[in-house]
Amino acid sequence: MEPLEQLRADTAARERAGLRRILRPRDPDHGGLLDLASNDYLGLSRDPRLIEAAVRATREWGTGSTGSRLVTGSTRLHAELEERLAAFTGAAGALVFSSGYLANLAAVATLGRGGLVVSDAGNHASLVDACRLARARVVVTPHGDVAAVERALRERSEERAVVVTDSVFSVDGDLAPLPGLHAAAVRHGALLVVDEAHALGVVGEWGRGAVHEAGLAGNPSIVRTVTLSKSLGSQGGAVLGAPEVIDTLIDTGRSFIFDTGLAPACAGAALAALAILEEGSDLPELARTRARELAGLAGELGLESAAPAAAVVPVVLGTPQAALAAAALCAEHGVRVGCFRPPSVPEGRSCLRLTARANLGCDDLAVIGRALAAVAGTKVTA
């Protein structure tokens, strides 16, 4: 086949399998639909305090950072954000990136290079890609299986080893066994890299994250990555860790060295969100409460769900076609939901992904309940 003909054939095959993905630009108000698909867990992305902080930063610093962090892309805003992130999460230091994806690439690919990387089967795609870039031997362990991680570390021949996990998994919404993973890593001289993208701002006191909640914050053998684009309502990412980790990433982390720094507006907005959390906001608890309520609604209707560890609530439907039909049905009832299909989830686990927000009200829950009732009534499996 000609190259473009082959691409067309591949696209047609994905269409038949229910795996075609289409960009659907939205309006500012989500086209009148209730948003249950975004990662705006605390409802801060349109908060006037964040908007004003972003505007103020833009007026002072301009629309872009103008260069990589090692040239002109580091501003006093970046330095302040790193200091505040580290203090809030109980880390020794922080390094800000232009996305959480790039933070994960830097942490895992740099720290795991040439050694052994032990990765949970449920890890986010950014961690999977980072494992591939590490030029390391990678062992993928069953989801949440501490014994398998321990075995991989014990049997290794490599001098260096890194254990990699999400803290809150991005689709299933469950919590990693962090104390067990950390103990295994320490016993075998490995670093533990924990992606806190779905935990920061939601899990633990004031939303300090799952590592902090587990009493492991500040431990030098733990490296955390976070995103600014979910609970903090902005954009960007960061690595949190010991000074030796930060220095290594600055010197050798390719996705740090060769990328343009985070835009000033994003740094300003993230600082404003941190200020809200630092005051002891009840938003993290509200987000967790709403997630439990969403899971309860699904369970009462006989839909497959689970008790959420943070704000992510999956509703498993099985096939890609079933998930697509259910998402369309929710939209008909006024609710926009996430629709996750392979390769984002394993075969047979296509699902709706509901994301709780702290600012969901009782009327919103009633609308969501009606949408889920429609899904439960159809039981689409084709």
Determine the Cα–Cα distance for residues 157 and 35; give it in Å rounded to an integer: 49
Alpha carbon separation from 9 to 12, 18, 144 (Å, rounded): 5, 14, 38
Q: Match 């608890």 to its residue by tokens.
A: 285
| The 93-97 sheet, strands edge to edge | 93-97, 237-241, 222-227, 191-195, 161-166, 116-120, 137-141
Active site residues: 170, 198, 230
Q: Enumerate the β-bridge partners of residue 194.
A: 165, 224
**Contact partners, residue 259, CB within 8 Å, separation at least 6:** 68, 69, 97, 98, 102
Is 374 within 8 Å of 328 (Cβ atoms)?
Answer: no
DSSP 134-197: TTSEEEEEPTT-HHHHHHHHHT---S-EEEEEESB-TTT-PBP-HHHHHHHHHHTT-EEEEE-T
Three-state SS at 282? coil
* Residue 335 to residue 188: CA distance in whole angstroms: 48
How many other C-beta atoms lie within 10 A of the C-beta of residue 323?
Answer: 27
